[in-house]
Amino acid sequence: MEEAIGMSAKDHFPQLSDPRILRKTHHKVVDIKVITLGAVIADADDWVEIAALGKEKEQRFKTFLELPGEISSRDTLGRLFSADLF
């Protein structure tokens, strides 16, 4: 378990790729995936609940995610996951 100390979320998901046009993105794929995973574990059922939990726990997420932009909106989450980018 000690090996995980100091590892970033990106270190845990090295195979994630991002096919989006990078200059048009404000959110990192790994950040979106980790927030979504955490929200689903916390019983979020839809994009509205996932975005709300992300905003509610933003300070906590910032302790281990980069979050260069604000938390993704429900619309952004829906577009990204429906576009089959993951």
- Give the mean pLDDT of the chain: 79
3-state DSSP of the chain: CHHHCCCCHHHHCCCCCCCCCHHHCCCCHHHHHHHHHHHHHCCCCCHHHHHHHHHHCHHHHCCCCCCCCCCCCHHHHHHHHHCCCC
**Residue-level pLDDT at 24:** 60
Which amino acid is it at 20? R
**Count of CB atoms within 10 A of residue 12's CB?**
12
Question: Is the pLDDT at 3 greater than 90, yes or no?
Answer: no
Q: Could you tell me what percent of the chain has a pLDDT over 70?
A: 65
d(CA 83, CA 66): 23
pLDDT (average), residues 35-40: 94
**Residue-level pLDDT at 78:** 86
Give the start-to-end residue ranges of the domains of the chain: 2-82
Q: Could you tell me what percent of the chain has a pLDDT over 90?
A: 36
